Structure 1
C-alpha cells in the first residue's frame, strides 16, 4: 500500500453505533469497542468500510493472542534438540504489519491523523473534481 492515501471526508450516512460481530474473538471485539467510538465521532466510517474495520480488529486480536502464547512458551522452542523460532513470532509479525496498514487506512495512526484528511466542504466547492473553470 504505497502512495498518498485518499482524503477522508465526513459521511452524513456514516456508521456511528455498531457493536462487534458476535463471531469475533474476544481480543478483536475489545479492539472494536475501543476504536468504534473514535471512528463514529469522526463520521468517516461507511458500511463499505466495515470489512476493513473487521480485518483491523482481527489482526490486533491475533497480535494479542500470539503474545499470550509467547509469554507462556517464549520466542524460542527446541525441536529435535535445536533451538528454533516459535511459529507465533512470525504470525504475530504478520498481524502487526496488517494491523498497522489497516490502522492507517482507517485514520487510526498519528501520521494519518496529522494529515489534513477530514475537512468540511468549502463554500463554492464543485461536485466535479475535473472541472478546472
Structure 2
C-alpha cells in the first residue's frame, strides 16, 4: 500500500531540534536527509558533493565580440553583455557560451521569418496524385533552436525560474590590492 510521509515533523517547542531531519527535496526517492550544521558551515549537503573551495575564478571581464556573428547576433551580444555585466555574472571564460546563445538567437529570428513567410504547413501531391498536407520542417528546427536557446538562458540565469539559483561571488580584487600593503 502506498502512503506519503509527512512534509513537516511536528515537535513540541521544548524538544531539541534533531541533528538530521527528513525533508522533501523532489529527489529520485522524494526524501533525503540534510545535515543543517554542515549546510550552515558551507560544507554542502550530507549526501551531495562538498563545495569546491578551489574552483577556478576567471576575471570579471566582457569578452570581445566574435567577428563571425550575424548582425542580429552582434546586437544580441551587445545587449546580453551589458545585462550580464550589470548582473555580475559575466567573466572572460563565458565567451563561447555567450557566442552560442547569440547564434541560437539569430537562428531563431531567421527561422521565424521563414515560418512566417511559408507557413507552418504546406500542401504537396503524393505519388498517387492525392493532396497531402505536411508540416513545414522549419517549425521542427525552430523548436529545437528554442530548446537550445532556453538551455543557454538557464546557464546564465536569464530565465525567471533559474535567476534565484545563480550565485555571485564577492569581488576579492579590492582585498588583494590592500593585502600586499597591510599583510
Give me the whole-angstrom Cα distance separating, in 2, the residues matched to 1:106 and 1:56: 10
Residues 17 and 40 of structure 1 are in contact (CA less than 8 Å); yes or no, is this contact kept in structure 2? no
Q: In the alignment, does 2:155 pair up with 1:105?
A: yes
CA RMSD of aligned residues (A): 2.6
Q: TM-score, normalised by structure 1?
A: 0.73
Return the structure number with greater relative CO, CA threshold 8 A, min gap 6.
1
Which residue is 1:77 aligned to? 122
**Which runs of 5 or more residues in structure 2 are unaligned?**
1-26, 28-50, 52-56, 126-130, 172-183
**Which runs of 5 or more residues in structure 1 are unaligned?**
122-133
Residues 107 and 113 of structure 1 are in contact (CA less than 8 Å); yes or no, is this contact kept in structure 2? yes
Q: In the alignment, does 2:84 pair up with 1:34?
A: no
Distance verdict in 2 for CA 1:17–1:53, change over 3 Å = closer
Q: In the alignment, does 2:59 pair up with 1:13?
A: yes
Residues 63 and 95 of structure 2 are in contact (CA less than 8 Å); yes or no, is this contact kept in structure 1? no
Which residue is 2:21 aligned to? none
Q: TM-score, normalised by structure 2?
A: 0.54
52-61 vs 42-51, which moves further: 42-51
Deviation (angstroms), 1:106 = 1.0
Which residue is 1:128 aligned to? none
Q: In the alignment, does 2:135 pair up with 1:90?
A: no
Q: How many residues end up aligned between the 2 structures? A: 113
